[in-house]
Structure 1
């Protein structure tokens, strides 16, 4: 088993999946050991098939058909199988040798069979295995060059009818449908392998359209049908590489496909076909992409295709033109253009586009914060500190959040003008606090800003005058408790009172934290007897809440 250890499993799965896997050891059944692999069934929410590969080029790997495993993760079911294998490590070498012997014996036996005997064997398997029969029927039709028959079988395989109730394939049946659709892809690839790549191109395109039409009727939560779409795209490209279709026709199809609905499933990149398209095809592709974009400059697919082709060709001007044709009102597109220009080594133009983004924004409060950050970084690099302060001031004036206040403070301190800026900023926040009703969600930014400045007395006064959120009052009480225990005590008692009417462990933990703070205040005030009376009365009223009583006992309350 080489380096396969429990530590491997823990590293592959992560702490959470490893711990959960410990609970599935009794759910592992049907363990089969091969030469370098182990398979089993693990019974969880459903019945899952699991396979561990022990002799790969790197660390051990595994596959599981549970939803988490299908995303490529090393799941709890794989952990359970891995731990089961480790528990049987002494017998594993013997089992692997037996697997190698069986494989060798089977191969030797098959090699000795005559053609007629092999036919009898295959026919027996075909009669028993419907999936095998379908695959062989498709191969036979491909070998005969019967395109009509292969097309009919592909359509049958992609039909959701046998799996759908009321026209929709539920999650429980989606895996089986995806497996069947995968057989259609295999059939198309077989056409290419048998020298009929031109037919494979036709059927691959038809299959893409058929899958696109049923995609919304399948619960593809696991993404398995999406994987089939990716394999189908690969099959189409392989067929094109083999058949070398007309470059201009291929370019037209690629543009139509990328701009159509089917691309959501296959995610085809036209640039992957560059070697097939050649110079003539790429010229046609660019021309068609430009025409499509000019017809719909705000279309996402049209913009993406144009940008992709322009970047591949190193045409920065074309990239800028694509973005400039549909500028976002918050300046985000201006930032995208600025970064493209930076990459192209044109920083002065980049700066002008970024400044234009802020200047042209319809709503100053909605300006992309990343654009503001970009400009401030550029100004700071050029030692234009007053410009940084001015931009941060305008941004704060439009947003008036704690973060915007902190950013203004940092910029103003760097420019040595924070005192004047702070007076203006606090005045704005004070006006905001005066206009808002007490208890608004999150509390006045004024209180948070003063706390962030470590001006606790001013923050307490602001909270008293304009109101504050309970979160802010708790922070204030914690900050003043050492010097003003009486003021802090009043806050803690007020915050604790509504919690006594609620239940739940999270509430109890919050209440106990407040009770500990209340005890500390009484100790500082020299009034421990008052705290004892308070706790005694509280215990009498809350005695039915066993978890609360237990938690209070643990903390000596």
Structure 2
């Protein structure tokens, strides 16, 4: 196709997709050339259908049904098709002319048939092609205003039966089913386009309900049903626009829909219908939403609808009322309210809600950490450093972890109280280590390492226990100051790894060997390391990858 170049393909696809497309040129098959378009199949993870628009003097564009292409990207399969077309330019030009000749010949032949012969031909083709028959039956029903007939054909198109094995449409058949069901959507759009928008509204709603009931019976890993649901939503909106649907009736349907399981299929947002609802319809929408929420104040869908409607009207008090009706026991909802009030500039009320969340959380060990962070930040901003430290101290006392210790340390350092707070915190952790065993001891080791108090961490690890990662950290931080202690750790960990196989284990072992060599250097015992290494080589000689890795590191 004139104007298509590697430079244009590289520019529109990007370097990564272009380079990957080079390897797929041989996977292109079934190239068809039309007026301004090129179609083909490209074999990737599966066979993908690709349409390239060369663009003449402009930038090439196109579509591909691979996951990356479906997101609107110019993928490697489009690149491969473009490169294949460039390689076959002369042959494709002849093919294009041949295709045009065949099309003209077909048109001429069909035009010369009598009415009876043409009908016989159509009957013959529809007898052999069920999909063609259904499409024509749908058009016929639409042309004669046969709503019952259209509904019947639509139900057939949405039926999973022909594609389902044991009542379930598997991944390999999902696209074919979606393509068939898409004909029903086209029929609904056709009704609206032909001036029968009210029928389009009714059938769109019926199709949404039918399709929602089938979602669990289709493997929709590639999102075919999701796209179909979006198309149905568009068809419904356009039909409502054409039919000038009664605002109150539309509002009622929208609220019912978004609270139903079908909402996840279409992702319809009632606010997208604001132009159709008008003032009366929006008032009804709000009224129906309130009624539904009052029946189920803890329902996620009901709360979400209420909050979105309230935010659209900047009604912060209603947003807070919805949150207040279903407060989480860990303070998370209090945090949401505080953030909403902060955004609205009502900072004093926001602070009250955050503090209330801390008070009303029965178990501080389970409190939402984000609430603690939020409130501590507000105290710090207001120069209430003592309150920030007290908050962090209480949280650490309830949930003794490295993170809560770090947060307490930051607050206490800002208030110049850290030495006294640290001693209190370490006292709690030592009591934990004595009372709860290894878990408490490991937290103690973590915080001492985080404080860079390595000697105290060694002592705590020896008295209370530590996991291998902590021992390794201790050894790495002490090779030069405590080489004998570090060496014992490395030797123990290395002994465990000698019983394992695989390159990952070999890399870990060689890293330990280098550390062991460093310890012997600090101890002045290089001969001991040489003897250890000789023995290790003898016992591990069958592990060729390990021996080669050791040699690359001079071991």
TM-score (norm 2): 0.90
Instruction: Name the residue aligned to 1:85.
Output: 82
Q: Do 2:30 and 2:41's aligned partners in 1 also have CA atoms closer than 8 Å?
A: yes
Taking a change above 3 Å as real, the CA distance of residues 386 and 53 of structure 1, as seen in their structure-2 partners, is farther
Shift of residue 257, structure 1, vs aligned partner: 1.3
Q: Following the alignment from structure 1 to structure 2, what is the Cα–Cα distance between the partners of residues 321 and 170?
A: 45
Shift of residue 134, structure 1, vs aligned partner: 2.9
Matched, 1:308 2:301: no
Q: Following the alignment from structure 1 to structure 2, what is the Cα–Cα distance between the partners of residues 99 and 375?
A: 72
Taking a change above 3 Å as real, the CA distance of residues 411 and 62 of structure 1, as seen in their structure-2 partners, is farther
Instruction: Name the residue aligned to 1:4.
Output: 8
Taking a change above 3 Å as real, the CA distance of residues 545 and 356 of structure 1, as seen in their structure-2 partners, is same
Q: Following the alignment from structure 2 to structure 1, what is the Cα–Cα distance between the partners of residues 321 and 271?
A: 20
Instruction: Name the residue aligned to 2:282.
Output: 282
Shift of residue 434, structure 1, vs aligned partner: 2.2
1:375-420 deviations in whole A, cap 9, x for unaligned? 1221121111111111111122222111211111111111111111
Shift of residue 344, structure 1, vs aligned partner: 1.6
Determine helix, strand or coil for the equivalent of 2:542. coil
Q: Do 1:41 and 1:47's aligned partners in 2 also have CA atoms closer than 8 Å?
A: yes
Determine helix, strand or coil for the equivalent of 2:8. coil
Q: Do 1:52 and 1:61's aligned partners in 2 also have CA atoms closer than 8 Å?
A: yes
Q: Following the alignment from structure 1 to structure 2, what is the Cα–Cα distance between the partners of residues 118 and 237?
A: 43
Q: Following the alignment from structure 1 to structure 2, what is the Cα–Cα distance between the partners of residues 242 and 145?
A: 17
Instruction: Name the residue aligned to 2:550.
Output: 552
1:4-27 deviations in whole A, cap 9, x for unaligned? 24465444649xxx55x5654433
Shift of residue 102, structure 1, vs aligned partner: 7.7
Determine helix, strand or coil for the equivalent of 1:298. coil
Write out aligned runs for 1:167-186 (5 A).
167-186=167-186
Determine helix, strand or coil for the equivalent of 2:326. coil
Any stretches of 5+ residues in structure 1 without a counterpart?
Answer: none
Deviates more, 1:64-73 or 1:249-258: 64-73
Shift of residue 325, structure 1, vs aligned partner: 0.3
Counterpart selection for 2:520 from 519, 522, 525: 522
Instruction: Name the residue aligned to 1:266.
Output: 266
Taking a change above 3 Å as real, the CA distance of residues 206 and 87 of structure 1, as seen in their structure-2 partners, is closer
Taking a change above 3 Å as real, the CA distance of residues 61 and 84 of structure 1, as seen in their structure-2 partners, is closer
1:290-312 deviations in whole A, cap 9, x for unaligned? 11111110011111111111111
Write out aligned runs for 1:401-440 (5 A).
401-438=401-438, 440=439
Instruction: Name the residue aligned to 2:483.
Output: 485
1:210-229 deviations in whole A, cap 9, x for unaligned? 11111111111111101101
Q: Do 1:35 and 1:96's aligned partners in 2 also have CA atoms closer than 8 Å?
A: no
Write out aligned runs for 1:323-334 (5 A).
323-334=323-334
Q: Following the alignment from structure 2 to structure 1, what is the Cα–Cα distance between the partners of residues 222 and 524?
A: 64
Deviates more, 1:371-380 or 1:195-204: 371-380
C-alpha RMSD of the superposition: 2.9
Shift of residue 531, structure 1, vs aligned partner: 1.1
Deviates more, 1:197-206 or 1:28-37: 28-37
Instruction: Name the residue aligned to 2:462.
Output: 464
Number of residue-to-residue matches in the alignment = 547
Write out aligned runs for 1:315-354 (5 A).
315-354=315-354
TM-score (norm 1): 0.90
Determine helix, strand or coil for the equivalent of 1:29. strand
Q: Do 1:33 and 1:95's aligned partners in 2 also have CA atoms closer than 8 Å?
A: no
Deviates more, 1:202-211 or 1:428-437: 428-437
Q: Following the alignment from structure 1 to structure 2, what is the Cα–Cα distance between the partners of residues 431 and 205?
A: 65
Shift of residue 340, structure 1, vs aligned partner: 1.2
Q: Do 1:197 and 1:239's aligned partners in 2 also have CA atoms closer than 8 Å?
A: yes
Q: Following the alignment from structure 1 to structure 2, what is the Cα–Cα distance between the partners of residues 400 and 499?
A: 33
Taking a change above 3 Å as real, the CA distance of residues 415 and 511 of structure 1, as seen in their structure-2 partners, is same
Write out aligned runs for 1:63-212 (5 A).
63-67=63-67, 69-70=69-70, 78-79=75-76, 82-83=79-80, 85-86=82-83, 89=86, 127=126, 130-212=130-212
Q: Do 1:22 and 1:80's aligned partners in 2 also have CA atoms closer than 8 Å?
A: no
Taking a change above 3 Å as real, the CA distance of residues 33 and 383 of structure 1, as seen in their structure-2 partners, is farther
Any stretches of 5+ residues in structure 2 without a counterpart?
Answer: none
Q: Following the alignment from structure 2 to structure 1, what is the Cα–Cα distance between the partners of residues 28 and 537?
A: 49
Determine helix, strand or coil for the equivalent of 1:483. coil
Determine helix, strand or coil for the equivalent of 2:220. coil
Shift of residue 501, structure 1, vs aligned partner: 0.8
1:119-166 deviations in whole A, cap 9, x for unaligned? 888966965765444333322211211101100000000111111111
Determine helix, strand or coil for the equivalent of 1:50. strand
Q: Following the alignment from structure 2 to structure 1, what is the Cα–Cα distance between the partners of residues 24 and 218?
A: 30
Taking a change above 3 Å as real, the CA distance of residues 36 and 479 of structure 1, as seen in their structure-2 partners, is farther
Instruction: Name the residue aligned to 2:248.
Output: 248
